[in-house]
Amino acid sequence: MAHSKTVAAIDLGSNSFHLIVAQIDGQRLRVVDRLREMVRLAAGLDDSNNLTPEVLDHAVACLDRFAQRVGNIPRSQVRVVGTNTLRRAHNSQEFVRRAEEILGHRIDVIAGREEARLIYLGVSHSLEDNNDERLVIDIGGGSTELILGQRFEPQRMESLHMGCVSISQNFFGDGAITAKRFRRAEIACLQELEPVQRQFLDHGWHTAIGASGTCIAISHAIESRGWGADGIDTDGLDQLHKEMIRAGHVDALNFPSLSERRLQVFSGGIAILRAVSNALGVKRIRIANGALREGVIYDLIGRIYDEDVRDRAVAELMDHYRVDKRHANHVALTASTLYHQVKQSWSITDDEDEQVLHWASQLHEIGLGIAHNQYHKHGAYLLYHMDMPGFSQGEQRRLAALVRGHRRKFPYCEFSNLRDSVRDSTLRLCILLRVAVVLHRSRPNTALSNITAHATESKLKLMLPPTWLDAHPLTVADFVQEAAWLKIADYRLTFKQEIAR
């Protein structure tokens, strides 16, 4: 890290929105600003899993305030991530569209295990660097992440469908707190934990770490009563549980260190932590300062300084599915050549456009690891549904659309499901990938760099070296077929060879 650079991360959690701004100075990361607002996005889901207009307006108003802090930071140095509630909400696209307009930055809705990976990264950077195996517990508003890892490498990650907001709504919705309600809530949490309990117990760990607001709030409440210090132990958690029941109602709780909005979801958080402690035999939990937003910052720094975990994820997939790397890299080089010649004409100038085209070129034959017949569909299914470290759900959907569309009939409908902001650019990237694949169908030993491409709004013209088409009659036939298929997308493909001089 040779010079100073400002980076920022925004965590759109199910309970709270967080903003962190940091300065990278040499090898040092210095946090210069933090903002937090309790939005309670998860509480705004109606019976049809749509965010209500009221919570949408509240959330957007919060981001309007955040936008004032990140407005002057370059796009490549800001990352915004959405978590469980935005994964669940049927109308999350409406929120994302409005939020992106206000922030001026893209919002990445991330999968549960990607959320867990980033949490672990943030936690690890906030702890001493030792070889202890760690269990990290992060109780959010809509989900709970459990991660086993060592140093900076997560080894097992789970995202469970239980959060302090959802459990509080389901079991303590009217504010009443009883032993019976706690028991029912804990049983529900234990049911969610049951499928992963044995694997975590068999693996084992040295230290349990609590991250984010719920664990911090529980620790503060225990410490304020003198039932413990420097974390959470089972005795302090039991005492807190008993006091909650004695209070009988959320309005009767008296914890000056906790806000009224935190108290509204406190019972659900305690039920979850008691269930986790009982299921996994956790006796003591240390509290970490780092969490998801810090993990996003460190992951962003890796991208800025060419240590992108997504590149490693793609390489691992190529190994796992035995992709022909030489062929994939040839296709990628040819696709890159075409991209740089037409990117201005086709308005595909974003760095992310070039990245996704490169990854799709490398992975376009991943489906061959399952079956040759319709392998483009198998590959698209894998990329759409698997957990890919570092990738947002939107990025995976773009990759899946490119791989699905790289051969055979042009699947125009696949692109209609993408976000408005990337639909046209992804379609054009797919055309470039298709052309690169056609040029390499005979699997030549080298990439084809001596091709000239010209593009207008709905046309792509290829100019090939003298005699090249004469020497490749099968490719000519392929191009004729390709031109017919691209008409489905209202694009015209033409090709010819230069005249020998």
Sign of CA dihedral 341, 345, 350, 352: negative
What mean pLDDT do residues 392-399 have? 95
Instruction: Assign 238 to helix, strand or coil.
Output: helix
CATH number of the domain enclosing 396? 1.10.3210.10
Instruction: Assign 406 to helix, strand or coil.
Output: coil
Distances (CA, A) of 31 to 20, 75, 305, 307: 7, 19, 18, 21
Alpha-carbon distance of 49 to 42, in angstroms, equals 10
Residue 167's nearest CA partner among 150, 191, 196, 146 is 191
Q: Which residues in 196-230 are b (16+ Cβ under 10 Å) and which e?
A: ebeebeeeebeebbbbbbbbbbbbbbbbeeebbee
Is the same domain home to 326 and 226? no
In-domain check, residue 216: yes
Residue 110's nearest CA partner among 150, 140, 136, 65 is 140
CATH number of the domain enclosing 204? 3.30.420.150
Which amino acid type is present at position 305? Answer: Y
Q: Give the pLDDT band (50/70/90) at residue 27.
A: low
Among 266, 301, 336, identify where a domain stops: 301
Distances (CA, A) of 275 to 61, 145, 194, 473: 35, 13, 10, 67
In-domain check, residue 485: no
Alpha-carbon distance of 264 to 169, in angstroms, equals 9
What mean pLDDT do residues 123-134 have? 88
Q: Which two structure tokens, joined as six digits, stand for 239?
A: 């005492």
Is the same domain home to 363 and 443? yes
pLDDT score at 3: 53
Q: Give the pLDDT band (50/70/90) at residue 228.
A: confident
What mean pLDDT do residues 149-160 have? 94
pLDDT score at 127: 87
Nearby residues of 191 by Cβ (< 8 Å), 6 or more positions away: none
In-domain check, residue 164: yes
Q: Give the pLDDT band (50/70/90) at residue 499.
A: confident
Residue 247 pLDDT more than 90?
yes
Percent of the chain whose pLDDT exceeds 70: 98
What mean pLDDT do residues 477-501 have? 91
Residue 282 pLDDT more than 60?
yes
In-domain check, residue 260: yes
In-domain check, residue 54: yes
pLDDT score at 4: 67
Cα 263-264-265 angle, rounded to 5 deg? 90
What mean pLDDT do residues 362-391 have? 96
Residue 357 pLDDT more than 80?
yes
What mean pLDDT do residues 58-68 have? 95
Is the same domain home to 183 and 102? no
- DSSP per-residue letters across 414-428: HHHTS-HHHHHHHHH
Nearby residues of 193 by Cβ (< 8 Å), 6 or more positions away: 160, 275, 276, 279, 280
> Taking the CA atoms of the chain, what radius of gyration do you get in angstroms?
26
Residue 182 pLDDT more than 90?
yes
What mean pLDDT do residues 222-235 have? 91
Q: Give the pLDDT band (50/70/90) at residue 308.
A: very high
> When comparing pLDDT for 126 and 383, which is higher?
383
pLDDT score at 444: 85
Q: Give the pLDDT band (50/70/90) at residue 345.
A: very high
pLDDT score at 2: 45
Is the same domain home to 222 and 328? no
What mean pLDDT do residues 71-78 have? 92
Q: Which two structure tokens, joined as six digits, stand for 153?
A: 């490498």
Residue 154 pLDDT more than 90?
yes
Secondary structure, 3-state, 434-460: HHHHHHCCCCCCCCCCCCEEEEECCEE
Cα 133-139-141 angle, rounded to 5 deg? 155
Q: Which two structure tokens, joined as six digits, stand for 135?
A: 């269990």
For residue range 421-475, what is the model confidence (pLDDT) as tens digits? 899 999 999 999 999 999 999 888 877 768 999 999 999 999 999 998 999 999 9
**Residue 259: how many CB atoms within 10 A of its CB?**
11
Is the same domain home to 283 and 340? no
Residue 10 pLDDT more than 90?
yes
What mean pLDDT do residues 141-166 have? 94
What mean pLDDT do residues 391-420 have? 93
| Burial tier of 431 (Cβ tally within 10 Å: 0-12, 13-18, 19+) | buried
Q: What is the DSSP letter of 51?
A: B
Nearby residues of 8 by Cβ (< 8 Å), 6 or more positions away: 19, 20, 21, 22, 69, 70, 73, 77, 78, 79, 297
Indicate the average pLDDT of the chain. Answer: 93
Is the same domain home to 106 and 216? no
Is the same domain home to 34 and 137? no
Residue 359 pLDDT more than 80?
yes
| 116-120, 225-229, 270-274: least confident range | 225-229
Sign of CA dihedral 309, 67, 418, 110: positive
Q: Is 306 left (phi over 0), alpha (psi -120 to 50) or beta?
A: left
In-domain check, residue 211: yes
pLDDT score at 65: 95
Task: Give how many domains the chain has, as a whole number.
Answer: 3
Alpha-carbon distance of 334 to 435, in angstroms, equals 9
Domain holding 82, by residue range, is: 5-111+295-301
Is the same domain home to 82 and 142? no
Q: Give the pLDDT band (50/70/90) at residue 1.
A: very low
What mean pLDDT do residues 497-501 have? 77
Q: What is the DSSP letter of 141?
A: S
What mean pLDDT do residues 267-289 have? 96
In-domain check, residue 330: yes
Is the same domain home to 49 and 24? yes
In-domain check, residue 61: yes
- DSSP per-residue letters across 275-303: HHHHHHT--EEEE-S--HHHHHHHHHHHH
